[in-house]
Amino acid sequence: MYNEGKLTKEGKNLKYLVPLITLGSNTMGYFDDEKNVQDYIEMVDGYDGAALIKVLQDYLPDESALLELGMGPGKDLDILNQCFKATGSDISQVFINLYREKHPEADLLLLDAVTLDTDRTFNCIYSNKVLHHLTKDELQHSLCNQTRLLRKNGLLFHSFWHGDKEEMNHGLRFVYYLEEELKAIVDGLFEVVKMERYKEIEEDDSFYVILKKIDYVANEILEEVKNIQCPIEELDGQKSEKIRNDVKKKYVHPSYREIHWENFVQDLEYSFKDENGWYVIQNFPYTKPVLMFFNERESKFMFRFNNLRDVSKVYGETFGYEFYLTNEDSDFLICFNHHDYLIGLGKAYEWVQKAHLKKLGTN
């Protein structure tokens, strides 16, 4: 994918220099030095991921929103922006500043590739020989966080060195992967769309992988509504995003980014444990259509059910998962979590409280 066999001026193998992209604790500080950055830019002159990006174009529609992890000098970002709406990211402010000097209009994020601390979402997350600088635990953590940033039906595209070893060079970690090992790491999170070796310096010394997030929750629900012929409607991305944002503003503590029952403003909620809480919800005095959604790491889908009885009917025939219910105005929020707690906020607060008292046998 790069010009083959090129060495640095010191005669060192390019394998250790393309790209040494900045990620987190492993490289933190090295690329905060402007001299190191300039030396690196000179070393990788003439190299880019054009061939990889050409493969990606077969799977990702033009104008899709894409995030590049570890953009470095921005060579791949330049190419990505020719076909996608690409956002560059790096943990090095020096790289960010240098690229912005030449491209003041560029969409750039100062971002750690492990924690991925941003509210932005994308159709694809791309990296070129970046994630191999992470430990295997850090890679798992990064991939979990990448699911949060992916939009519905989103893709990952990452490349790695092929092998079964770990090396340190110039204070940087290089973790090599075999295909089966990487498949085991992503198992349960992503479907492998394509995985293929290619030649970087030597034959089959590298491979890329295209991954698609597995949405077990949505798949299970959609399958069950067919079986029991229960009508539901899938909300489009723009509408569901608006509802989620409204819910966040009303019920989630401002220091948190995600809608999760642990992040609710405590003074606004009432909860009690009831393993049949999923069934009890149909007693909530609301007869209009309701919106069902889930923890963003598990599913980006949002469904409109005709009524709460249909929600209970579908949930009763599917495996356990946490879910949230609200309406178009977000004036109530009901959650049933994996600890079997029924949680009510907004107009559902008092109802959940009464449901608890009823269970206790108190008037």
Instruction: Summarize pLDDT for 230-272 with one digit per residue, the tens.
Output: 999 999 888 999 999 999 999 999 999 899 999 999 899 999 9
Q: How many residues does the chain have?
A: 363
Query: Which one-letter amino acid corresponds to residue 196?
Result: E
Distances 336 to 186, 249, 260, 294, 322 between C-alpha atoms, Å: 27, 20, 11, 10, 6
**291 shares its domain with 207:** no
What integer pLDDT is reported at residue 46 of this predicted model? 66
- 164: part of which helix (H) or strand (E)? none
Last residue of a domain, one of 158, 183, 213: 213
Last residue of a domain, one of 173, 195, 213: 213
Q: What percent of the chain has pLDDT over 90?
A: 72
Distance CA 260, CA 243 (A): 14
**279 shares its domain with 177:** no
- Is position 7 within any domain? no
Distances 253 to 108, 229, 248, 346 between C-alpha atoms, Å: 27, 38, 8, 14
Check pLDDT > 70 for residue 339.
Answer: yes
- Is position 1 within any domain? no
Check pLDDT > 70 for residue 8.
Answer: no
What integer pLDDT is reported at residue 6 of this predicted model? 32
- Is position 8 within any domain? no
- Is position 9 within any domain? no
User: Do 328 and 316 contact (CB within 8 A), yes or no?
Assistant: no
CA-closest candidate to residue 194, choices 107, 115, 186: 186
**19 shares its domain with 108:** yes
Query: Which one-letter amino acid corresponds to residue 342?
Result: L
- Is position 4 within any domain? no
pLDDT band at 362 (very low <50, low <70, confident <90, very high): low
**142 shares its domain with 258:** no
* Mean pLDDT confidence for 157-175: 89
Check pLDDT > 70 for residue 228.
Answer: yes
User: Do 251 and 348 contact (CB within 8 A), yes or no?
Assistant: no
What pTM did the predictor assign? 0.72
* Mean pLDDT confidence for 159-186: 91
Pair of tokens at residue 82: 């020719």
Check pLDDT > 70 for residue 326.
Answer: yes
Distances 341 to 79, 287, 335 between C-alpha atoms, Å: 49, 23, 8
**57 shares its domain with 140:** yes
Last residue of a domain, one of 167, 192, 213: 213
- 126: part of which helix (H) or strand (E)? strand 122-128
Produce one character per residue of 192-206: b if its CB has 16 or more CB atoms within 10 Å, e if not: eeebeebebbeeeeb
What integer pLDDT is reported at residue 201 of this predicted model? 85
Check pLDDT > 60 for residue 3.
Answer: no
State which residues form the domain around 296: 216-360
**188 shares its domain with 229:** no
**238 shares its domain with 122:** no
What integer pLDDT is reported at residue 257 of this predicted model? 85
Instruction: Output the domain CATH number for residue 203.
Output: 3.40.50.150
User: Do 113 and 24 contact (CB within 8 A), yes or no?
Assistant: yes
